[in-house]
Structure 1
Amino acid sequence: MRFLLEIDMGETAFEGQAADELGRILRYWGGNLRHYALEPGAGEAVYDSAYREVGAWRITAREAPASPS
């Protein structure tokens, strides 16, 4: 399985506060992950401190490695 977190920081990288905003997002979702079944298909939207949707996290099945040609 893979855990994927994608955040759109916009044109201004959270008005120059990218480290603070990303830290808050990581702390919040890290603390809440125990409430989710960590299995392929799980996921949810991610919001910034102004409660705007800025991305999502999800669990996916690991892709099979490509076979050699």
Structure 2
Amino acid sequence: MKFLLEVTMDDAALTKDPAGELGRILRYWGGNLRHYPLQPGDEAAVYDSEYREVGQWRIVAS
């Protein structure tokens, strides 16, 4: 299996503070990890600090 995280970096919040926003996204995702079985097909949207969708993560078969 592979974990894929895709984030659009040209979003307003990400252009202002890319390291801060990516860190927040990773912390948020890590905190919600327990809500997913992490099997191929699992996926969810990724949001910036202003709750705009900026990407997604997903689990795919290798």
Distance change >3 Å, CA 12–CA 50, structure 1 → 2: closer
TM-score (norm 2): 0.91
Percentage of matched positions with identical amino acids: 66
TM-score (norm 1): 0.83
RMSD of aligned Cα (Å): 1.5
Gapped regions of structure 1 (runs ≥ 5):
63-69
Structure 1 residue ranges, 4+ long, deviating more than 4 angstroms after superposition: none
Q: May I ask how many residue pairs the two structures share in their alignment? A: 62
Gapped regions of structure 2 (runs ≥ 5):
none
Q: What SS class does the counterpart of residue 16 from structure 2 fall into? A: coil
Distance change >3 Å, CA 10–CA 59, structure 1 → 2: same
Distance change >3 Å, CA 14–CA 61, structure 1 → 2: same
Q: Does 1:30 align with 2:19?
A: no
